[in-house]
Chain A
Amino acid sequence: MIWSRHNTSSPLRADATLARVTGSLAMAVAVLLGLVILLLIRESWGMLVDGGWVRFFDSEGWYPQRGQFDLLPMLWATLAASLGALLIALPLGMMSAVFSRFYAPGWMVSSLRRVMMLLAGIPSVVYGLWGLTVLVPLIAQWEPPGASLLAAILILALMVLPTVALTSEAALAAVSPASLQGAAALGLSRKGIVLGVALPEARAGIMTGALLAALRALGETMAVLMVAGNVVQTPGSVFDSVRVLTANIALEMPYAIGDHRAALFATGLMLMLIVTLLSWLAGRREELAHV
């Protein structure tokens, strides 16, 4: 905008070229999303047309060799694991954010944030390794087989905890000092200020963080694959072995052909739809929060 009038000494051709080059590269990036969706649809087409998709919901279990493609047990397992993880991570993450904003002695705040960053940076496969060798044997002592929905929930909770904590902390930091000081001037206790003023005002930001955490939990593959036991069944209790949608793709993709392969791509498409819906919601929330 500042360069809208050409200035005589500038090598204009270079500017025009730069605009064209960056523009076309940006277009290439912009079509990437479309390409992902198109390829997923193309590869799963065989299972989607002619009412084929009904097979995902009314089959007798998941037996790809016999043409039975029931995704529901794995869908329930995915939802149960993600929801359980959120139920644990949300209060814990919020409380640790409240801690670093309102309770922590000064020197602890930055080291706590560093711990969260490190936790966020640990690869999912390392969480899986730890879960498999430490958490699963512990659960097995309590209630065999150990590799279970509970293990998946706990590992996922640990993985999304930094997301919740860091976004909640940012949301709490954005609460206007005026309202905090006003509350303090009114004689509210620290508890009153945290529960009555800070958290309600930071609600939108915390909810966005929770949505991001849900995105991460739903899409997680390796950590869940390594600790959940991978038996295809609708979870009856938290000690049951379960297989989530993402793990199913990773486990069967190497040898899947024909309809089986198409079914796995359709699973990917389904995950993509869920995730797109959630990120659209998160984006909307953010817009609303800014208005």
Chain B
Amino acid sequence: MFKQPARYSDVMLTLLVWLATLLVVGLFAWLVGDLILHGYSKLNLAFLLDVPQNAGREGGIAPILVSTLLILAVALLATLPLGLATAVYLSEYTNGALANGIRMSLNILAGVPSIVFGLFGNALFCIWLGMGFSIWSGGLTLACMMLPLFISTTESGLSAVTNEWRHGAAALGLSHTAALWQVLLPAASPAITAGLMLSIGRALAETAALIFTSGYVDRMPTSLSDSGRALSVHIYDLSMNVTGGDASAYGSALVLIITLMVISGIAVGLTNRFLSQRITLS
């Protein structure tokens, strides 16, 4: 398709495009290399299982990991039912103005800066509903942030299921509910999984929305009403407010990135197994 004698301007563009890509990849390698280089020494079991000492300069990140997972669990507990129900409603029960209205508001929500969600969560959960700085507040704030992403991916997955499946289920006498559980949701599982993965990634990466909802306290949380410091907030605090905390910050950053990868892997595996079982059993 592109067999042409090379000309000067052609060579220039080729060179430019290669250089740009090399620059991008080089920057990426620099960033990841630095993370591994500075964080590697911290990456051991003691770091994961110890409590932070001396404002986090020494010791580990155990309570922070627990808080992070609890915040994530609260967020998922709220996001999954709400998100799935909304996606099902949008794709299966309604169309026209109402559905478009819901979609538009979700689109706008998806672009709202996380710091604004932080303000919202602080006003609604911490103060209005009296939850204070707590894992509840942080998790619910995160849920509000994750919903648009989760709903749009799930809905597009459900819409992508061809009508033949619906016809087939109807012809077999399945109720709409049964068809949804046994056919449509399993068929849409890759999209739902992908949405879940993206949402978890967004939640774990979030800092700004958590600073004044789940707070700064780095003790081991004893209940969901305790304030808990998320891993990302820990990295922020170590690098900005603690002189000499850079090594621990890099260690935590490396742990965060590895956790991001592992959790998304587990989520994919579990969802696939769960939903493929349903489709073979039915």
A11 and B173 CA atoms in complex are apart in Å by 10
Given known contacts A9-B173, A219-B114, A125 and B232 CB-to-CB distance under 8 angstroms: yes
Q: Closest CB of chain B to A198's CB: distance in Å?
A: 12
A3 at the interface (CB under 8 A from B): yes
- B90-129 vs A, CB cutoff 8 Å, 1 = contact: the mask equals 1011100000011011111111111111111011100010
- When distances are taken between beta carbons in the complex, the residues of chain A under 8 Å from B233 are 125
- When distances are taken between beta carbons in the complex, the residues of chain A under 8 Å from B31 are 122, 127, 130, 158
- B1-39 vs A, CB cutoff 8 Å, 1 = contact: the mask equals 110100101100110111011011101101110110010
A87 at the interface (CB under 8 A from B): no
- B154-170 vs A, CB cutoff 8 Å, 1 = contact: the mask equals 00000000010011001
Given known contacts A18-B180, A99-B21, A40 and B236 CB-to-CB distance under 8 angstroms: no
Given known contacts A32-B109, A279-B107, A250 and B2 CB-to-CB distance under 8 angstroms: no
A59 at the interface (CB under 8 A from B): no
B38-76 interface with A by 8 A CB criterion: 38
Given known contacts A129-B250, A254-B212, A271-B113, A10 and B174 CB-to-CB distance under 8 angstroms: yes
In this complex, how many residues of chain A approach chain B with their Cβ under 8 Å: the count is 93
- When distances are taken between beta carbons in the complex, the residues of chain A under 8 Å from B235 are 123, 125-126, 129
Q: Once the chains bind, are B113 and A99 in contact (CB under 8 Å)?
A: no
Selected contact of A132 from candidates B83, B147, B239, CB within 8 Å = B239
A25 at the interface (CB under 8 A from B): yes
- The residue among B23, B90, B115, B201 with the most chain A CB atoms within 10 A of its own CB is B115
A277 and B176 CA atoms in complex are apart in Å by 39
Given known contacts A115-B28, A221-B113, A29 and B177 CB-to-CB distance under 8 angstroms: no
A32 and B112 CA atoms in complex are apart in Å by 12
- The residue among B102, B113, B174, B204 with the most chain A CB atoms within 10 A of its own CB is B113
Q: Once the chains bind, are B207 and A221 in contact (CB under 8 Å)?
A: yes
Q: Once the chains bind, are B4 and A36 in contact (CB under 8 Å)?
A: no
A124 and B201 CA atoms in complex are apart in Å by 12
Interface pick from A63-71, A187-195, A200-208: A187-195
A178 at the interface (CB under 8 A from B): no
In this complex, how many residues of chain B approach chain A with their Cβ under 8 Å: the count is 94
Q: Once the chains bind, are B115 and A250 in contact (CB under 8 Å)?
A: yes
Number of cross-chain contacts by CB at 8 Å: 269
- When distances are taken between beta carbons in the complex, the residues of chain B under 8 Å from A160 are none
A3 and B107 CA atoms in complex are apart in Å by 29
Selected contact of A98 from candidates B17, B122, B175, CB within 8 Å = B17
Given known contacts A130-B31, A265-B123, A25 and B115 CB-to-CB distance under 8 angstroms: no
16 contacts between A and B (CB under 8 A): A2-B163, A2-B166, A10-B176, A23-B94, A33-B108, A35-B120, A99-B20, A103-B18, A112-B21, A123-B253, A125-B235, A126-B35, A126-B235, A161-B24, A212-B111, A268-B115
Binding site for B on A (CB under 8 A): 2-3, 7, 9-12, 14-15, 18-19, 21-23, 25-26, 28-30, 32-36, 39-40, 42-43, 91-92, 95-96, 98-100, 102-104, 112, 115, 118-119, 121-130, 132-134, 158, 161, 165, 180-181, 184, 187, 189-191, 193-195, 212, 215, 218-222, 225-226, 246, 249-250, 253-254, 264-265, 268, 271-272, 275-276, 278-280, 283
